[in-house]
Amino acid sequence: MVKYSIENHTKKNGIDLCEITRRNDRYVPINTSEGKGIQMNGNLLINNASIYDTSHRSFFGGNLLIRDGLIEHISADEIICENASVVDAHGAALIPGLVDVHSHGRIGYDFDSATADQMKKMRMSYAAQGTTTVVPTIASAPFSQIESAIENVKAAGFDAIHLEARYLHPKRRGAHREDLLSLPDQGELLTLLKHCDPLHVHISCAPELSGGEEFIKTARMYGATVGLAHSDADYDTAMHAIEWGITSFTHTFNAMPAIHHRNPGPVTAALTSEDAYCEIIADGFHLHPAIVKLAYLAKQPHRLVLITDSMSATCCPDGEYSIAGEKVFVRDGKAVNTEGAIAGSTITLLDAVRNLMRFCGISLAQALPYATIIPARMIELDSRIGSIECGKRADLLLLKPDSTEIDRVFCSCLP
């Protein structure tokens, strides 16, 4: 069985990229920016780990057996498997791989324009920094380009796709080019959903636009999840949108009206809804740390979702990039377009977890669900990913002792 490993880093236009090479080993070490990893096919036994228990938000000492990429057995007692490779965790924390439901790109590539092979390199780069499941997010573009991006996402082997494209309010467009925007269109929606099959589809839109109600209801009828995004909706419209089928609020607070005590707006709908998920970008730039804490207090324990909204400059030097047809300038890791609008982030999801811990004064055990099981539930993939449970994919991070730094990445689904 041929395996893949990241042997070293090369440079492309000054950007660090992972060079994928073939090896015939059963378990191949992967050099990463923070540690090393193992891509699996066969049996692997991880002993003496401090295993994260999502349901109790705590750790326990135990052992874990992986067979053919799936978690087969978890026990506090010794597990014997004669034909398994063995990793001794020496008591270090073993946590679920992170799940990013909103990311536009990294290492110099954008999901709107990257080829399938470039997307595979991106998947390796995400995994190397702890995000073992990423949902490629397609920004506004000509319809034919969106269709092409969908085909490349499918060819690269992703689980799901996020269409944050076109159906946005011009007043709240942020870094999306205005001439690329469109009113919600039922015909386009059905075409997109057909192209995306068998991927799970998450689609963001502004519900107050003409045709928004029918668009949302149709998307839900065909199995997509829907986020309110780049919207100028008032509070009542946002609450109606939840009734129509909105399941989440896309990068809450950003690209939507602010809270006012006489005009509560969509943010208040997001924070007070018992059912809707709230994405937040916890980089300290998109949102002040106190606002991150406000969202945490309002939506914990089950409806807050950490995202990166990262763009192509992630893991790259400062400079000029692009997103959604707009030039973007990155300085000190902060991305803005020519009009000064924020144009995505350059953080990793593990950075967001660390920031949530710091901004809210919580532990790693308390913070992890917001980057693992809760985003997995938001896109309805929680039966496969997001927690360490038997039958789920063995996407795992082994941390360094008493640290949030990665020692090893175990990932069962890399290209």
Per-residue confidence at 235, pLDDT binned at 50, 70, 90? very high
DSSP string, 274-295: SS-EEEEE-SSSSS-HHHHHHH
Among positive and negative, which fits the CA dihedral 124, 414, 131, 119? positive
DSSP assigned state of 183: -
**Any bridge partners for residue 106, and if so which?**
109
Q: Is there a cis peptide before residue 301, judged by omega within 30 degrees of 0?
A: yes
Distance of CA 309 to the CA centre of its chain: 8
Three-state secondary structure call for residue 318: coil
For 308-337, what is the mean pLDDT?
92
Among the ranges given (16-30, 100-114, 282-296, 332-346), the one the predictor scored with the smallest mean pLDDT: 16-30
Give every CB contact of residue 1 below 8 A, 6+ residues apart in sequence: 24, 26, 41, 42
Distance of CA 73 to the CA centre of its chain: 27
Whether the per-residue pLDDT at 202 is higher than 70: the answer is yes
**Any bridge partners for residue 393, and if so which?**
70
Among the ranges given (4-18, 55-69, 312-326), the one the predictor scored with the smallest mean pLDDT: 4-18
Per-residue confidence at 215, pLDDT binned at 50, 70, 90? very high
Whether the per-residue pLDDT at 315 is higher than 80: the answer is yes
The residue written with tokens 């705590």 in the block is 58
The residue written with tokens 């943010």 in the block is 267
pLDDT digits 0-9 by tens, 61-98:
999 999 999 999 999 999 999 889 999 999 999 999 99
Please give the pLDDT value at position 4.
24
Domains within the chain, CATH numbers bracketed: 3-96+388-411 (2.30.40.10), 98-378 (3.20.20.140)
- Beta carbons of 358 and 290 less than 8 angstroms apart: no
Per-residue confidence at 28, pLDDT binned at 50, 70, 90? very low
Residues, the chain? 415
Please give the pLDDT value at position 12.
33
Whether the per-residue pLDDT at 136 is higher than 70: the answer is yes
Percent of residues, the chain, with pLDDT higher than 70? 90
Whether the per-residue pLDDT at 17 is higher than 90: the answer is no
Per-residue confidence at 324, pLDDT binned at 50, 70, 90? confident
Among the ranges given (14-18, 104-108, 383-387, 394-398), the one the predictor scored with the smallest mean pLDDT: 14-18
Q: The whole model's pTM is what?
A: 0.91
Centre a 10 Å sphere on the Cβ of residue 112 and count the other Cβ atoms it contains.
25
Whether the per-residue pLDDT at 30 is higher than 70: the answer is no
CA-closest candidate to residue 321, choices 132, 110, 146: 110
CA distances from 349 to 166, 252, 288, 415 (A): 26, 16, 17, 21
CA-closest candidate to residue 87, choices 144, 148, 37: 37
CB-based burial of residue 393 (10 Å sphere; 0-12 exposed, 13-18 middle, 19+ buried)? Answer: buried
Give the residue, 387 or 175, on which the prediction is more confident.
Answer: 387
